[in-house]
Amino acid sequence: MRSIEFRRVSRRPAERETSLRFLIDGVSFLELVREAELPGALAEQKERIEECPSEPAPLLAGDYAPSTRLSAEHLLGGAPDRVPHGVEDDEHLLLGCTCGIDDCWALVAKIALGEDTVMWSGLRNTYRDWDYGSIGELTFSRQDYERSLRAAFGAG
């Protein structure tokens, strides 16, 4: 079983809006995603350079922003707060585009609650067919998951 920590982080000290970041076993979830996406992103970048050498392609691995609009209910597998284009009924947004528009670019997963566990599975980018096998299914203690959500959302 993996550990998870949800953290509210201010984007800028003067702003009141915070984003929600995830740490998996003490490592930024965004960094885990970046590492998993890197092979696909590098292959795509190479193809694009060969097709259009005058227009360098950006390296898109891990190009997400932590969301400012996810609720605890969403992260417990409830009705999704945000439903980007191309998302299936049983998928939930985890990370959105750096531009702030979820339909632009999103990382989604299925969130399943068991009696003692919470599982994230089926990680995928809504616009790229990249392999997330290095991350796999993430299973957390439900008690610890809910405790961290309560702390992040100020309810405990």
| Confidence check: pLDDT of 95 > 70 | yes
Non-local CB neighbours of 44 within 8 Å, separated by 6+ positions: 57, 60, 128
pTM of the model: 0.87
CB 24 within 8 A of CB 3: yes
pLDDT above 80: residue 11:
no
Q: How far is CA 60 from CA 23, 41, 113, in A?
A: 21, 6, 31
Binning pLDDT at 50, 70 and 90, where does residue 60 land?
A: confident
Which one has a higher pLDDT value, 140 or 103? 140
The pair phi, psi for residue 65, each rounded to 5°, is -125, 140
Q: In which band, very low, low, confident or very high, does the pLDDT at 110 lie, cut at 50, 70 and 90?
A: very high
Q: Measured at the alpha carbon of residue 151, what is the angle toward residues 146 and 152, in degrees to the nearest 5?
A: 95
Mean pLDDT on 52-71: 79
